[in-house]
């Protein structure tokens, strides 16, 4: 489960969750995952035996996207 502090922009439409298997490279299939204006999301189905890297951006109703958040990682074994 990933969680973050909600953006306070009035026109916040949602978030994009970027997933990768190397730092700064978010090329995991299905990435980015687009979610609504929520403060958490559970990613399921990631294969075991790998370290995954995550970063999040916010986007507004016009489609403008913020820069990426700081990266976090999680090893799943």
From CA 9, how far away is CA 67, in angstroms rounded? 14
User: Which of the four pLDDT bands, split at 50, 70 and 90, describes residue 35?
Assistant: very high
Segment 42-69, tens digit of pLDDT: 999 999 999 999 999 999 999 999 999 9
Average pLDDT of the chain is 96
pTM of the model: 0.94
* Boundaries of every domain in the chain: 2-64
pLDDT, residue 72, reads 98
Say whether 57 sits in a helix, a strand or coil. strand
Strands (E), the chain: 2-3, 12-20, 33-35, 40-41, 50-60, 72-76
Percent with pLDDT over 90 in the chain:
95
């Amino acid at each position: 489960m990933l969680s973050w502090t909600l953006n306070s922009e009035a026109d916040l439409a949602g978030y994009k969750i970027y997933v990768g298997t190397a730092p700064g490279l978010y090329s995991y299939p299905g990435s980015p995952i687009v979610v609504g204006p929520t403060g958490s999301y559970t990613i399921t189905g990631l294969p075991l035996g790998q370290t995954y890297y995550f970063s999040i951006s916010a986007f507004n109703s016009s489609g403008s996207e913020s820069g990426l958040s700081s990266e976090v990682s999680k090893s799943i074994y």
